[in-house]
Chains A and B, each alone.
Chain A
Amino acid sequence: MKVFMFHLMPYLYMDLEYKSKWRSPWVVMPNSEYDPVKGHELYNRFLDELEYAAELGLDGVAVNEHHQTAYGLMPSPVVTAAALSRRVKKARIAILGNAFGLREHPLTLAEEHAMIDSITGGRLITGMVRGIGAEYHSMGANPAFSHERFHEAHDLVIQAWTRPGPFSFHGKYFNLEYVNPWPRPFQKPHPPIWCPSTGSAETIEWAAHPDRKYVYLQNYSPVKSVARFLNGYREVAQTKYGYQASSEQIGWAAPVYVGPTDEQARDQARVHIESLFNKFLNLTFEMMFPPGYLSFDSAIRMATHKKQIMGSQTVESLIEQGIIICGSPDTVRRTLTDAHRFLGFQSFLALLQFGTLPRDLTEQNIRLFSTEVAPALQALTDREYMGFEDSMKAMAA
């Protein structure tokens, strides 16, 4: 298994009592709440944290994109990845993801990803996402055309990376007379493509398609949902597309906190993990699901799913549902090894800094996870996986 550290880079000085003033840290919280001096400190601290995880032997570090929110300070993950690209010497750098369809001109992202891939000698992983609903408010992008535009941006980028240029591209959204990017990506045919999602059927079907076979990464979900969606990917590959998906094609991302003992881990993580789920992740229905972003059925289903995740969580309820993994090195190792035996995922992303988690606890978490937990996970292969049929039986039981 490949093990990554994921960072959201939250503005953790956010006023946690914002609810009397603003409905959400997304879209509407005024940026006068952001202090550039503190921002300077945070960016450098967070980059240090990712570099530290890479030094301790994790397989990769991962960053993502969100706009106009205290939840995460990475409107351009390309900038974050570029800042990491010369300091992280061996580990992979994963942009999970970039919202290609939100851009007026996705070719600029194709160029930038090719640059990072070249600088790192082929260590980039490209995540392709539509962006969450709030992004459509922040960026003025039309949610009703989100799927179409994303798919067309994807096609343009893949062609730009693989077809000899110059060639012209004519779509509904993007029209270019010359597609001929310099540089081309270092990796052949292009960087691996991952699709992080919280479980949209459309994304799973799209990622699993035999033309793509992209890695599907399940985010922020009770472990039961993780099982449903990861097995859902394998099932779609088998029944809809007639091939057996490899375990390399699926991954799981979850917040992880490792402390000296189970009790200490819970106590140390408590207020910080609760701040993530109850404060930073607080979005209204209208922000999450602008019209057309999802089909009616998906919107209703996802709203139910989100309700399970956001709101009045405690560290205990998060552990209980398997949304986070928290405990002593033994507990965390056992939990993840068990999950792997059941689901077989070959990528795991640990969110090792979350909410208001301060520097010292984050460093302890990175150290304990990277040295006490990750090596056991990195040794896991398909031999330890129970297999798809047994997994489906276990899930049904």
Chain B
Amino acid sequence: MPAEPDQMIKVGDCDLHVRRQGQGAPLLYLHGTEGLTGIAPGLGALAQTFDLIVPDHPGYGLSGDAAAVDTMSDLAMFYLDVLDRMGLQQVHLVGHSMGGWLALEIAVRNSHRLASLTLVDSAGIHVQGVDKGDLFICTPEEGLALLNHDLEAARARLQASQAEADPRLLYRNRVTTAKLCWHPRLFNPSLARWLHRVQLPTMILWGENDQVLPPAYATALSGAIAGSRLVMLPECGHMLPFEQPGRFAQEVSTFIRSIAA
């Protein structure tokens, strides 16, 4: 069923803003700490092969708030409602950064509507002795350098896309990120104990130069999720889907095709 590109879906008390395009197997993209306000992720290519579904999480972008969502565990339950509400089956879940953490929280709870998991520079666990980059204490300029391998390219990308973004929306995005990720910083201490419950085909896709969640996090996740495939992209930081949109789409498509085969 071809879908409208931009829609509001009522889930509980929340008006969830969803961008939907393309046809094929459903692919739900869960965005990261930075939200999607004013930044066009390199997702378009995926719509050529998939029914691409890209929501703004509650508290981000054009979505409303969800009173029940205070923590990442709440948000996972909320998305189980979203999957039910949309009646989706065999969903390929792709989560970036905080969105990868969210994907894991969903998958350990209930994966009966899921077909696969792609974790891109994903938060969710803590690796002892490997500090994460602090996105909250740095200036916007330092944040850009922390998030991206190629600072100049990132600057140009933001200039092109974020110039007209409403600063109030950007602030609200940040407040929601703080709500979900401030403490413990970008992880849930009990999640690692339940990762054996992830029994979906899983790809872990990482920027080799990620300074927010260094590659040790990729290795740890791949060790914790049986049968997972680890793909490391050179010359790439934390913002992989934005830094290398072509390669991102290609890796995701290849992985999902390989499951079907």
Residues of A within 8 A of B (CB): 27-28, 136-137, 140-145, 284-287, 290-292, 296, 299
Contacts and interface: CB of A to CB of B under 8 A. Distances in A.
Nearest to A172: B70
Contacts of B183: 140-142
Interface residues of B, number: 19
B77 to A, nearest CB: 17
Interface string B176-187: 111100111100
A284 B139 contact: yes
Q: Which 4 A-B pairs have the closest CB atoms?
A: A291-B178, A144-B179, A291-B174, A292-B175
A286 B137 contact: yes
A290 B171 CA distance: 10
16 contacts: A136-B182, A140-B185, A142-B178, A142-B182, A142-B183, A144-B179, A144-B182, A145-B179, A284-B137, A285-B139, A290-B178, A291-B171, A291-B175, A291-B178, A292-B178, A292-B179
Contact of B172 (A141, A143, A287, A296): A296
Interface centre among A28, A141, A144, A290 (most CB of B within 10 A): A144
A144 B137 contact: no
B14 to A, nearest CB: 17
A286 B171 contact: no
B179 A286 contact: no
Nearest to A297: B168
Contacts of A286: 136-139
A186 to B, nearest CB: 36
A291 B137 contact: no
B171 A144 contact: no
B137 A137 contact: yes
A70 to B, nearest CB: 17
Contacts, number: 48
A291 B136 contact: yes
A131 to B, nearest CB: 14
Given A142-B182, A287-B137, A299 B175 contact: no
A65 to B, nearest CB: 19
Interface string B143-184: 000000000000000000000000110011011111100111
A296 B179 contact: no
B208 to A, nearest CB: 27
Nearest to B176: A144
B136 A290 contact: yes
Contacts of B185: 140
A286 B178 CA distance: 12
Contacts of B172: 296
A218 to B, nearest CB: 26
Contacts of A140: 182-185
A143 B137 contact: no
A376 to B, nearest CB: 46
B136 A137 contact: yes
A27 B137 CA distance: 10
A249 to B, nearest CB: 32
A146 B137 CA distance: 17
Interface in B43-74: 70
Given A27-B137, A291-B178, 19 more contacts: A28-B137, A137-B136, A137-B137, A140-B183, A142-B179, A142-B182, A144-B176, A144-B179, A145-B179, A284-B137, A285-B139, A286-B138, A286-B139, A287-B137, A290-B136, A290-B178, A291-B171, A291-B177, A292-B175
